Amino acid sequence: MGTVIDFRTLNTRFCTSLVFAAFEGLRDGEMLKVVSGEEPLDLEKQFKEANISNAHLKVVQPAAEVWELNIYKMDKNKVGCCGVCGS
């Protein structure tokens, strides 16, 4: 199934850094699922602002009041550096 982070169970001050750290630890081709009680617009915006070239995001609303953000780590050899470390 992969890695799942449920924002509904976390203190909000830890959420963003946890997602970026988990994404950095993914292998190429793996996915990270973020579950939230609200649409994850801020997290999408932060990924876009970070300009992480090998991140592909897809928002899904599988049930009322539950949102999922699937973050795929693409093959870095095809898209370049992931950008997380800043190098």
pLDDT tens readout for residues 13-70:
999 999 999 999 999 999 999 999 998 999 999 999 999 989 999 999 878 889 999 9
For the chain, domains (ranges, CATH) are 3-79 (3.40.50.150)
Do residues 22 and 71 make contact, with C-beta atoms less than 8 angstroms apart?
Answer: no
Q: What is the pTM of this model?
A: 0.82
Residue 29: DSSP 8-state: T
Length of the chain in terms of residues written: 87
CA–CA distance, 75 with 30 (Å, rounded to integer) = 9
CA–CA distance, 39 with 44 (Å, rounded to integer) = 10
The pLDDT of residue 64: 83
